[in-house]
Amino acid sequence: MTLAEQVYEALIYMYALSLLFYFSDCIRRNAGAKRTGTGFLVVVLGLQVTHVMMRMWIEGHFPIYTTFDFLFIFSFSIVLMSLIMTRIQRSEFVILLLNIVGFSVTVLNRLWFTAGEISLHNWQTVHGLLIMHITLANLGFAALTVASVFALLYLFLHHRLKNKKWNETVRRLPSLEVIGKYMDGATLIGTPLLGVSIVLAVLSIVAERRWHLLLDLKVIATGLAIAIYVGYFVVKRRKQFSMMVMSRWTLIGYAFVIISFISNAYSAFHRWTGE
């Protein structure tokens, strides 16, 4: 096992400890557990940075091209966003849910994928576009993940309030208005990022004259996801539906984002090999 792999293993353990302390705080309010969980989250972020620096030293470039790299940067974005959210009141459950996603991705990434070099000889004419496409897609994916967590919380809290089921969990959640505002904000950030990434992908297809890829499953699935999110803002502007409907709409859009990612295995666009 290389030193970089040992660092990755260590960050998984630290991530698990952070989740345990946050879970403990969410079960029963415990300020000490929350601070400890945040501390472990800071350690996780430091180990992630260390892992990337080691990879850069070994490979001679920023690791961004493989599925492993994409998911690693995604989990890094989740951790960073979670630490930012610690400054927001009543954010414990949001942070817990986000990091359940981040931890799951981190572990699955270790089990299913391998860090390493990638051949880019077929992408040299669009090298810059490719980097921008991957970066923006990753940031958009992370932002829309945050939006989906808030959408789930909105549906949960609305159901509890409607049925007058008050408990400590309900009292520790932000109000429906605040949750809806953060959901809108995260969607507003993620949608254009994902939209620009698909535009760059199309430009790379045009530059490489690979016209058949315009009908690729990956491109179509991502295009549908963007269309759903654009529709979200069009409908919301006209105030045609309640926030309950908009929350479901957000989750449907995210489902298509997931489908888009899973379609990498069947896509001829890049398959994360540059071929």
Instruction: Compute the distance between CA of residue 98 and CA of residue 82 in angstroms, rounded to an integer.
Output: 7
| CATH 1.20.120 placement within the chain | 1-116, 119-275
Q: How confident is the model at residue 269 (pLDDT cuts 50, 70, 90)?
A: low
Angle at 196 between CA 190 and CA 200, to 5 degrees: 140
Candidate from 91-95, 108-112, 125-129, 161-165 with smallest mean pLDDT: 125-129
Candidate from 92-96, 179-183, 204-208, 222-226 with smallest mean pLDDT: 204-208
Looking at per-residue confidence, does 28 or 8 come out higher? 8
What integer is the mean pLDDT of 181-198?
91
The pLDDT of residue 219 is above 80: no
Q: Which two tokens stand for residue 236?
A: 């919301």
- pLDDT per residue over 65-78, tens digit each? 778 888 899 999 99
Instruction: Compute the distance between CA of residue 95 and CA of residue 26 in angstroms, rounded to an integer.
Output: 10
* Confidence (pLDDT) at 127: 61
Angle at 136 between CA 134 and CA 140, to 5 degrees: 115
- Note if the pTM is more than 0.85: yes
Q: Give the burial class of 32: count Cβ atoms within 10 A of its Cβ; 0-12 exposed, 13-18 middle, 19 or more buried.
A: exposed
Candidate from 31-35, 193-197, 253-257, 265-269 with smallest mean pLDDT: 265-269
Candidate from 26-30, 39-43, 198-202, 212-216 with smallest mean pLDDT: 212-216
What integer is the mean pLDDT of 106-124?
69
The pLDDT of residue 264 is above 80: no
Taking domain 119-275, whether its CATH number is 1.25.40 is answered by: no
* Confidence (pLDDT) at 220: 80
* Confidence (pLDDT) at 116: 61
Q: How confident is the model at residue 17 (pLDDT cuts 50, 70, 90)?
A: very high
Question: Across all residues in the chain, what is the average pLDDT?
Answer: 84
* Confidence (pLDDT) at 70: 87
Share of the chain above pLDDT 70, in %: 88
The pLDDT of residue 126 is above 60: no
Q: How confident is the model at residue 153 (pLDDT cuts 50, 70, 90)?
A: very high
* CATH code linked to domain 1-116: 1.20.120
Helix/strand/coil (H/E/C) assignment for every residue in 8-48:
HHHHHHHHHHHHHHHHHHHHCCCHHHHHHHHHHHHHHHHHH
The pLDDT of residue 15 is above 50: yes
Question: Of the segments 24-33, 65-74, 82-91, 185-194, which one has the largest average pLDDT value?
Answer: 185-194
Residue type, 271: R
